[in-house]
């Protein structure tokens, strides 16, 4: 039972390049989320998805694009990476949607933009 996996775990890219972070869950959870973690800011929501082909913006969506063609995958793309997007990115999912639902987190991807 792999749960949520993220790839790559570490990535170094250059300013202006496109980069895609992958998130895969084996539970068929409907809701999935992307967060970025930065010192002094905690975790901030970038995008989330309620189901396949349904996505919505979070608190900090600028510069990011998401898609969800299959329930189990939720890739996050930085179309033109900037140094301010250097961060640790976490994917999460919810088992049973509703108030108070626990989110399950992947191990994270550490992205450095040079």
Partner 1 sequence: AQSVTQLDSQVPVFEEAPVELRCNYSSSVSVYLFWYVQYPNQGLQLLLKYLSGSTLVKGINGFEAEFNKSQTSFHLRKPSVHISDTAEYFCAVSEGNKLIFGTGTLLAVQP
Query: Which residues of the shown chain bind partner 1 in the complex (CB under 8 A)?
Result: 4, 31, 33, 35, 40-45, 48, 50, 58, 90, 92, 94, 97-103, 105-108
The smaller minimum CB distance to partner 1, of residues 15 and 24, is found at 24
The smaller minimum CB distance to partner 1, of residues 50 and 65, is found at 50
- Cα dihedral 36, 104, 32, 20 in deg (nearest 10): 50
The smaller minimum CB distance to partner 1, of residues 65 and 104, is found at 104
The smaller minimum CB distance to partner 1, of residues 59 and 79, is found at 59
The CB density around residue 46, as the number of other CB atoms within 10 Å, is: 22
Minimum distance, C-beta of residue 36 to partner 1, in the bound complex (Å): 11
Minimum distance, C-beta of residue 30 to partner 1, in the bound complex (Å): 9
Give yes or no for a contact between 27 and 3, defined as CB atoms under 8 angstroms apart. Answer: yes
What's the order of all strands across the beta sheet hosting 64-66? 4-7, 19-25, 76-78, 64-66
Minimum distance, C-beta of residue 40 to partner 1, in the bound complex (Å): 6
């Amino acid at each position: 039972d792999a749960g949520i996996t993220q790839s790559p775990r570490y990535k170094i890219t250059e300013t202006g390049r496109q980069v895609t972070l992958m998130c895969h869950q084996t539970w068929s959870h409907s809701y999935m989320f992307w967060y970025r973690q930065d010192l002094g800011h905690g975790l901030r929501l970038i995008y989330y998805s309620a189901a396949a082909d349904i996505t919505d913006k979070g608190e900090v969506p600028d510069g990011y694009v998401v898609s969800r063609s299959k329930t189990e995958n939720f890739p996050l793309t930085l179309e033109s990476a900037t140094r301010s997007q250097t961060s640790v990115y976490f994917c999460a999912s919810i088992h049973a949607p509703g108030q108070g639902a626990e989110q399950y987190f992947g191990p994270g991807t550490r992205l450095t933009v040079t």
